Amino acid sequence: MAVLPSLATVADLATLLGRTFTPEQEMQAQALLDQASSVVRAYVRQDITRATTTDVFPLRRADPLLHRCGGVVTLPQRPVVDVDTVLVDGAETADWWLDGAELLLRAWTWGQPPAAHRPPQVTVTYTHGYDTVPGDIQAIVVQAANRVIVNPSGIRSEAVGGESVTYLIPTTGEALGVLLSRTEQKVLDRYRRTAASLRVRGH
């Protein structure tokens, strides 16, 4: 799997701090931004940046009250920009359409026992994510990295505007790295994938 780019740049962090980094400081800043980006992606369960992915999903039977089709696949990475190819059990099909992040197959004959115990496997190659990282996500990544830079003394928490903000060093003195505040998590919740989606293989 390709390494995903940071969700903010060293220039963004330098602008926030109002300073110019030395080459060594640039390396540290990039490492912190990479870590903050990974923390954000892990929380929202999304790649966020624009990418093309091939995944394999088990086909779900459609709800007759919601969908008039043969089966449904929910694509986990959002937003879905485009779908390139769809294969069902290895056979390419064009008999599908998109409804948001759901790919619906117009018609499909479900197997009889014993094949019926294994749902058809749908291979989808699709483009997803944002061409430009949303500003609120970018700001959170920069803020999270900045807290590590401005908190060298190991302060664990302090009250900021009536909110308790947790920093990177716990009372045991063990460095944990970049963490998200509760306020930042609430902002990120609008991007977070909460529904379970089975991902069998990704490239």
The tens digit of pLDDT for each residue in 10-32 reads 999 999 999 999 999 999 999 99
> Is the same domain home to 107 and 88?
yes
Whole-number pLDDT of residue 113: 64
148 found inside a domain: yes
User: What is residue 168's predicted lDDT score, i.e. its pLDDT?
Assistant: 45
HSE at residue 103, side-chain half, CA atoms within 13 A, is 31
**CA 56 to mean position of chain CA atoms:** 18
Report which of residues 43 and 175 the model is more confident about. Answer: 43
Judged against a pLDDT cut of 60, whether residue 84 lies above it is answered with yes
CB under 8 Å to 98, separation ≥6 — which residues? 80, 83, 104
Q: Which of 76, 103, 128 is the endpoint of a domain?
A: 128
- pLDDT bucket at 178, cuts 50 / 70 / 90: confident
Percent of the chain surpassing pLDDT 90: 64
Regarding whether 121 and 67 lie in a shared domain, the answer is yes
Which of residues 106, 128, 150 is at a domain's end? Answer: 128
Q: Give the whole-angstrom CA distance, residue 70 versus residue 86.
A: 14
Q: Stretch 148-170: mean pLDDT, rounded?
A: 60
Q: Please give the average per-residue pLDDT across 43-57, as a whole number.
A: 97
Residue 79 lies in a domain: yes
pLDDT value at position 195?
A: 55
Do residues 19 and 65 share a domain? no
The pLDDT score that the predictor gives to residue 155 is: 54
Indicate whether 3 belongs to any domain: no
- Does 103 fall in a domain? yes
Full domain range(s) for residue 91: 51-128
| Category of 45 on φ-ψ map: left (φ > 0), alpha (ψ -120 to 50) or beta | left
CA 158-161-166 angle, to 5 degrees, is 30
Count the residues in the chain.
203
Task: Give yes or no: residues 107 and 144 share one domain.
Answer: no
Residues 16 and 82 in one domain: no
- Lowest-pLDDT range of 113-122, 155-164, 174-183: 155-164
- 34-47 burial, b if ≥16 CB within 10 A, otherwise e? bbbbbbbbebbbbb
User: Which range among 32-36, 133-137, 161-165 shows the weakest confidence by mean pLDDT?
Assistant: 161-165
* Whether residue 60 sits in one domain with residue 36: no
Residue 143 has pLDDT above 60, yes or no: yes
The answer to whether the peptide bond before residue 114 is cis (omega within 30 degrees of 0) is yes
The pTM score is 0.79
Is the same domain home to 89 and 115? Answer: yes
Looking only at the bridges linking them, the beta strands covering 80-88 and 121-128 are: antiparallel
**Rg over CA atoms, the chain:** 22
Q: How many structural domains comprise the chain?
A: 2
Last residue of a domain, one of 128, 147, 170: 128
Among 6-10, 160-164, 166-170, the minimum mean pLDDT is found in 166-170
Instruction: Let me know whether 57 and 104 are in one domain.
Output: yes
